[in-house]
Amino acid sequence: MIEKNPRMYGRLIQAIRPVLVRHYGRERADEILCAAEPVYDRFLVETPSIGGSKNKMNKSLEMALPFFAIYEASGRSLTEEMVDEMMDVVMVSRYRRIGRVLNMNRLDKPWIRRLAYRFARRIADEINAHRGKDWNNTWGIQINPEGHDHGLAVTLVGCPLADFAKAHGYMEIMPWLCGTDEKAASALHARLIRHHTVAQGHETCDYWFVGDKDTSAR
């Protein structure tokens, strides 16, 4: 079971309501949002905890469940365009603000790369120690398993979002959610090079971030 975060849920609903109003009209949008909350509450009970605030990757699951609830409450009528707009409001826009001061074209400066990997390994070690135990099916993390000599690369093993979507019959919208990673990378002046995801039926999702001025990496 996942503990409800009313503040997060309220902010998310407030942010995406205008998107629903644009596409459905005010009355239907409010009907969807009203119907979504009990669905969301049920999903919280049904979903294994992945460590809550102790897990630095928990927010991805915490923010995805309301989208699944709204998808269900809408009669599964959300389109890719709607989900893309909602994700832009709640996630990508935040990365754009970060991108004003963080430019990932600087990733290949040796000291920045060392610092980034040191931080990533610290998170990976903590999460991997709990995976399959008290943090259930949280993502596992492999640091640069293919040995890329530039950029920043991690591989995520398994995916609680895909597990949830598969269990509830929502796999059709997983590519829309996964596509947000590329848009977030672009906001940080980076390219995400990815060859497979769990949502596509693989065991892992690969992430290789390189600066958007780097045209050599494929």
CB of 207 closer than 8 Å to CB of 181: yes
Identify the pLDDT of residue 107.
Answer: 78
Residues of the chain under the 70 pLDDT cut: 217
User: Which residue type does 185 have?
Assistant: A
User: Using CA atoms, how far apart are residues 57 and 138, in angstroms rounded to an integer?
Assistant: 8
Which of 163, 144, 140 is CA-nearest to residue 153? 144
Ramachandran region of residue 208, left (φ > 0), alpha (ψ -120 to 50) or beta? Answer: beta
User: Which residue type does 94 have?
Assistant: R
User: Using CA atoms, how far apart are residues 194 and 131, in angstroms rounded to an integer?
Assistant: 23
CB of 217 closer than 8 Å to CB of 208: yes
Share of the chain above pLDDT 70, in %: 99
CB of 205 closer than 8 Å to CB of 156: yes
Give the tens place of pLDDT for each residue, 164-174: 999 999 999 99
Identify the pLDDT of residue 1.
Answer: 86
Identify the pLDDT of residue 217.
Answer: 67
**Number of Cβ atoms within 10 Å of the Cβ of 176:** 20
User: Using CA atoms, how far apart are residues 214 and 33, in angstroms rounded to an integer?
Assistant: 42
Identify the pLDDT of residue 118.
Answer: 96
The C-alpha torsion from 99 through 56 and 177 to 142, rounded to 10°, is 100
Which of 182, 178, 187, 183 is CA-nearest to residue 208? 182
Which residue do the tokens 């958007």 mark? 212
- Taking CA atoms, 177 is separated from 35, 63, 79, 120, 125, in Å, by 22, 11, 12, 23, 26
User: What pTM did the predictor assign?
Assistant: 0.92
Identify the pLDDT of residue 38.
Answer: 97
